[in-house]
Amino acid sequence: MSTRRHFLKLGAAAAMTPTVVSAQSAGAGRVVVIGGGFAGATAARTLKVLEPKLAVTLVEPNPVYTSCPFSNSVLADLREIGQQQFRYDGVKRAGVTVAETSATAVDVDAKAVVLADGSRVSYDRLVMSPGIDFNWAAIPGYDEAAAQKMPHAWKAGAQTVLLRQQLQSMQDGGLVVMSAPANPFRCPPGPYERASLIAYWLKIWKPKSKLLLLDAKDAFSKQRLFQNGWAELYPGMIEWVPLSQGGKVTSVDPATLTLVTEFGSHKAAVANVIPPQRAGAIAAQAGVADRTGWCPVEPVAFESTLRPGIHVLGDAAIMGGMPKSAFAANAQAKVCAVAIVELLAGRKPPDPVLINTCYSLVAADYGISIAGVYRPTNGQLADIPGAGGVSPLEAVGGLRGQEALYASSWFRTITAEVYG
Amino acid sequence: MHRLLPPGLAAALLLVGGSTWAADGPLGGPPGASSCTGCHASAKISDSVIPRVAGRKAADIVTFMREYRSGAWPSSVMGHIAKGFDDQQIDAIAAWFAAQPE
């Protein structure tokens, strides 16, 4: 995307308002953003577009971002991992200073972020978008070493490639076992899209194989749409085991690729364990995570209810009815950027309305969707009654194929807006 | 552009800001507008089947949104989304996109 064009777009309606004028007269400010995923990169970039005089620093150790959305398509050989990867050149062109290092701590009292080399970056407002970390203590036997045998592939990149390699090396007839965590977790429909696309690939390359999906809950996002799709496209291939039927994994043995549940144990040819999650570790260090491991925020500027002056976005935050999706992270970041410009200028941020749209693929040419609209209600982001919903159960007129096309167009558009 | 204005003139604009604000909408767009560009590209993208809305006529955007909302025009996600907005909000979002370069 042309930065100039984006500038014009957002600048057009702001041009003759007093907003930017008084931000100038008030002096700009310094904003630090921790984490360059969909939330953080959007926030950093939008802040510079809205108020070029702001000093915006994005702290992100990886020079290349690997997108989780569409990474399930890599498992099914529908995409290459390189198509998931984006650099920060566009963010830099927008005027953001990218510090290619880790943030090791937040000095809340001094309003400074401590970097890996011990240097400090001061801020007037801090945005934290650290994404997720895994709760390694949650499933006995499942630690970082075990993830090399039983990949989670829930942070895209090397883990995605590892899981794909394991699937490709598997004998035809081998059992793939997946486990999905209880709510909340990153990308609620993600495990079910993954099961779908692995089955899509198995049906072509390993047609004697089956997939067992052990679930720590009794219901999931777009459930009837997924289950109808499985019955239609992959009859007998996917077995979903809900919590009430012993779906919760209580321990694993990486040496034998065994997943143990309350009701028995399952030996896998390929095991994909999606463990319970929490906000990225620095959130707890900064004091913005609560006992759940996630970060409570108010619903207008997404400012931490535990640490004023720190905004938390994306998967790490507790966003009321809004799910942990890349679309949501991007939408929250744009709202937050406006709010920060207003707050730095001493004004009250406007009450926002946010949209979430999330597509899942059941097969390469079979897409389903969920959408919602949210606004602050009683201190939380809540669904606007009457809005939102999922694809119809009965698809007419090639709707599933159309939604698969919309899905790839969405990915193309959002990655261009954030990283292009 | 406003950024070229000298501080004195900028302050003068600020004084008459009330009506200007109402005419041009708040920073970053009216409520809901900023979410739209997650799917409806700000820049021209050749390989997207989702239409851009920037620079479209406000009246056309309003018509589409109302017909999505009522179900008169079939859709996948847009019907679900349009039901979250009243007429006034739709008008504001349409004006915001219409004012942008095509």
C-alpha span between A47 and A39 (Å, rounded): 12
C-alpha span between A331 and A340 (Å, rounded): 14
Do A106 and A206 fall within a single domain?
Answer: no
Whether residue A248 lies inside any domain: the answer is: yes
The number of distinct structural domains making up chain B is: 1
| Residue (of A293, A294, A292, A248) closest to A273 by Cα position | A248
| Contact state of B27 with A16 under an 8 Å Cβ cutoff | no
C-alpha span between A57 and A29 (Å, rounded): 11
The distance in angstroms from the start CA to the end CA of chain B is 18
pLDDT value at residue B16: 29
Burial class of residue A152 (count of CB atoms within 10 Å of its CB; 0-12, 13-18, 19+):
buried
Q: Which structural domain range is residue B63 located in?
A: 48-102
User: With a cut of 50, which residues of chain A have pLDDT below it?
Assistant: 1-26
Q: What are phi and psi of A208, to 5 degrees?
A: -85, -10
Centre a 10 Å sphere on the Cβ of residue A89 and count the other Cβ atoms it contains: 11
User: A172-211 b/e with 16+ CB inside 10 Å = b?
Assistant: eebbbbbbbbeebbbbbbbbbbbbbbbbbbbeeebeebbb
- Shortest distance, CA B83 to any CA of chain A (angstroms): 5
| Contact state of A16 with B39 under an 8 Å Cβ cutoff | no
Residue where a domain terminates, one of A349, A370, A396: A349
Whether residue B101 lies inside any domain: the answer is: yes
pLDDT value at residue B25: 65
B24 band by pLDDT with thresholds 50, 70 and 90: low
C-alpha span between A188 and A33 (Å, rounded): 25
**Residue A331 · residue A306 · CB < 8 Å:** no
Collapse the DSSP code of A202 into the 3-class scheme (helix H, G, I; strand E, B; otherwise coil) and give the result.
Answer: helix
Whether residue A368 lies inside any domain: the answer is: no
Whether residue A363 lies inside any domain: the answer is: no
The CATH number given to whatever domain includes residue A19 is 3.50.50.60
Tokens 């950027």, located at residue: A337
Whether the per-residue pLDDT at B53 is higher than 80: the answer is: yes
Closest residue in chain B to residue A342, using alpha carbons only: B27
Do A204 and A323 fall within a single domain?
Answer: no
Residue where a domain terminates, one of A229, A252, A275: A275
Radius of gyration over every alpha carbon of chain B, rounded to an integer in angstroms: 16
pLDDT value at residue A8: 39
Q: Quick one: which H or E segment has residue A104?
A: strand A103-107
B18 band by pLDDT with thresholds 50, 70 and 90: very low
Average pLDDT over residues B36-57: 92
Which residue type occupies A385?
Answer: P
**Residue B36 · residue A335 · CB < 8 Å:** no
Which chain B residues touch A327 with a CB distance below 8 Å?
A: 38-39
Do A120 and A204 fall within a single domain?
Answer: no
pLDDT value at residue B44: 87
Which residue type occupies A55?
Answer: A
Whether residue B28 lies inside any domain: the answer is: no
**Residue A37 · residue A314 · CB < 8 Å:** yes
- Shortest distance, CA A236 to any CA of chain B (angstroms): 29
Q: How would you classify the pairing of strands A112-115 and A120-122? A: antiparallel
Q: What are the pLDDT digits (tens) for A374-384?
A: 999 999 999 99
The two structure tokens encoding residue A404: 């698969």
- Say what angle helices A223-233 and A190-205 make with each other, to 10 degrees: 0
pLDDT value at residue B102: 87
Whether residue B93 lies inside any domain: the answer is: yes
Between B47 and A289, the more confident residue is A289
The number of distinct structural domains making up chain A is: 2
C-alpha span between A350 and A176 (Å, rounded): 49
Residue where a domain terminates, one of A257, A275, A293: A275
| Contact state of B49 with A406 under an 8 Å Cβ cutoff | yes
pLDDT value at residue B43: 86
| Contact state of A20 with B3 under an 8 Å Cβ cutoff | yes
Q: Which structural domain range is residue A245 located in?
A: 140-275
| Contact state of A11 with B34 under an 8 Å Cβ cutoff | no
Q: Is the CA virtual torsion A145, A146, A150, A151 positive or negative?
A: negative
Q: How would you classify the pairing of strands A366-377 and A389-390? A: antiparallel
Burial class of residue A156 (count of CB atoms within 10 Å of its CB; 0-12, 13-18, 19+):
buried
Q: How many Å separate Cα B48 from the centre of its chain?
A: 20
Whether the per-residue pLDDT at B22 is higher than 70: the answer is: no
Which chain A residues touch B40 with a CB distance below 8 Å?
A: 413
| Residue (of A76, A255, A261, A244) closest to A179 by Cα position | A261
